[in-house]
């Protein structure tokens, strides 16, 4: 809040000084100032996109400085004002996107009762996040093109920005490819990989040799992204006693951990837990539904963030 008030006071002082000592600002600068005021007036922008808002404030200050300098060309002022306006609109868009993500996360709680429906909702969310990333990359290229008109050195900055945007798209595509190979779905707790009970013999914790291929793909993914940690959860149906099911679920989670360790995944990156029959994804009335409940779920942290435990 202090930053917002200081920014508003600074903008007001600059506007008063401009009215007293300089000609009327060009339309691009007037529009940029209006865009920043609109962004600062929205509490969601300050709460959800403070870094983007700070960039917009800095960009507008540069434009105001150029306007105050007699030697600045109108083209330079317009260019700086355009960037400031774009930064302000980016801050508002980022706040709206993050607000939408929070709303989506709340709605997903109810849909978790049926795993098929959950995967459909999470796939839509992943596509929406990809669309945001592509829009941001396009904006980066647009800003680089505008910067190229300011000076000879801007050509190099433009080329660098375009290369970074291309690299970001390539990294996003590579990540999506690897997640598709794992059949991982994004959730509010991280990326989820579900291993059914076909990995194990009935009432046993030893992993079948045929199931090692799936775990090897997971190990290769973790080697590519060494900063990510994982949480392995074991689950069972309600057949048998609760105590027996809890022990079996923990043994299966530990077996998956041991297999990953043999493939080079450090134990310091892994947490295991057994929940037994406590968290079914379907009722236990039919054999099919009980089979869905007998599973091992592996949560992969997103962007090096910790994994939230079950409540």
Q: Are residues 194 and 259 in the same domain?
A: yes
Q: What is the pLDDT of residue 159?
A: 53
Q: What is the CATH number of the domain that holds 243?
A: 3.30.1330.60
Same domain, 138 and 194: no
In a domain, 36, yes or no: yes
Same domain for 168 and 141: yes
Mean pLDDT taken over the chain:
81
Among 151, 179, 207, the domain-final residue is: 179
Q: Quick check: pTM over 0.85?
A: no
For residue 266, what are the CA distances in angstroms to 218, 222, 229? 13, 10, 10
Choice among 94-98, 192-196, 219-223, 234-238 with the minimum mean pLDDT: 192-196
- Residue found under tokens 């794992």: 182
Longest dimension (CA), the chain: 85
Mean pLDDT on 18-31: 75
Angle, CA 228 vertex, CA 265 and CA 165 arms, to 5°? 125
Question: Is 234 found in the same domain as 205?
Answer: yes
**10, 4 in Cβ contact below 8 A?**
no
CA distance 79 to 58: 14
Q: Is the pLDDT of residue 299 over 60?
A: yes
Could you report the per-residue pLDDT of 184-232, keeping only the tens digit for each?
899 988 999 988 877 777 788 888 887 788 899 999 999 999 989 999 9
The encoded tokens of residue 119 equal 């995967």
Residues 197 and 171 in one domain: no
Structural domain harbouring 213: 189-300
**Domain shared by 174 and 212, yes or no:** no
Question: What does the pLDDT read at residue 164?
Answer: 55
In this structure, are residues 272 and 205 in contact, taking their beta carbons and an 8 Å threshold?
no
Q: Report if residue 62 sits inside a domain.
A: yes
Q: Per residue in 37-57, pLDDT tens?
A: 998 999 989 899 899 999 999
Of residues 16 and 194, the one with the higher pLDDT is 194
- Residue 37: how many other CB atoms lie within 10 Å: 13
Q: Own/partner pairs for 224-230, CB < 8 Å, 24+ apart?
A: 224/178, 227/304, 228/269, 228/300, 228/301, 228/302, 228/304, 229/269, 229/270, 229/271, 229/301, 229/306, 229/307, 230/269, 230/270, 230/271, 230/298, 230/299, 230/300, 230/301, 230/307
pLDDT tens digit string along 101-157?
888 878 887 888 867 665 766 667 768 676 776 767 776 677 755 665 675 665 667
Q: Residue 2: which pLDDT band, with cuts at 50, 70 and 90?
A: very low
Q: Span 155-183, mean pLDDT?
A: 57
Kind and range of the H or E run holding 20: helix 2-21
**279 located within any domain:** yes
What is the reported pLDDT for 168?
44
């Amino acid at each position: 809040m202090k930053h917002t008030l200081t920014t508003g006071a600074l903008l007001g002082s600059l506007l008063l000084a401009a009215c007293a000592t300089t000609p009327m600002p060009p339309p691009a600068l007037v529009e940029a100032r209006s865009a920043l005021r609109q962004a600062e007036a929205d509490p969601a922008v300050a709460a959800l996109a403070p870094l983007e808002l700070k960039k917009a404030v800095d960009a507008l200050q540069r434009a105001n400085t150029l306007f105050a300098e007699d030697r600045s060309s109108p083209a330079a002022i317009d260019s700086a004002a355009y960037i400031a306006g774009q930064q302000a609109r980016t801050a508002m868009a980022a706040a709206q996107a993050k607000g939408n993500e929070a709303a989506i996360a709340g709605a997903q709680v109810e849909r978790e009762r049926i795993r098929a429906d959950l995967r459909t909702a999470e796939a839509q969310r992943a596509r929406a996040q990809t669309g945001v990333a592509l829009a941001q990359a396009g904006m980066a290229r647009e800003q680089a093109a505008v910067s190229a008109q300011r000076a000879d050195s801007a050509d190099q900055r433009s080329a660098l920005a375009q290369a970074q945007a291309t690299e970001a798209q390539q990294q996003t595509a590579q990540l999506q490819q690897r997640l598709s190979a794992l059949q991982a779905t994004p959730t509010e707790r991280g990326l989820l990989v579900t291993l059914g009970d076909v990995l194990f013999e009935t009432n046993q914790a030893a992993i079948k040799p045929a199931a090692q291929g799936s775990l090897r793909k997971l190990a290769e993914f973790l080697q590519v992204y060494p900063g990510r940690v994982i949480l392995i959860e074991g689950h069972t149906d309600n057949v048998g006693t609760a105590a027996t099911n809890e022990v079996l679920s923990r043994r299966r989670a530990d077996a998956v951990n041991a297999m990953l360790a043999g493939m080079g995944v450090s134990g310091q990156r892994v947490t295991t837990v057994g929940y037994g029959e406590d968290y079914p994804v379907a009722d236990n009335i039919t054999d099919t539904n009980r089979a869905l409940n007998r599973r091992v779920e592996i949560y992969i942290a997103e962007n090096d963030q910790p994994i939230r435990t079950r409540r």
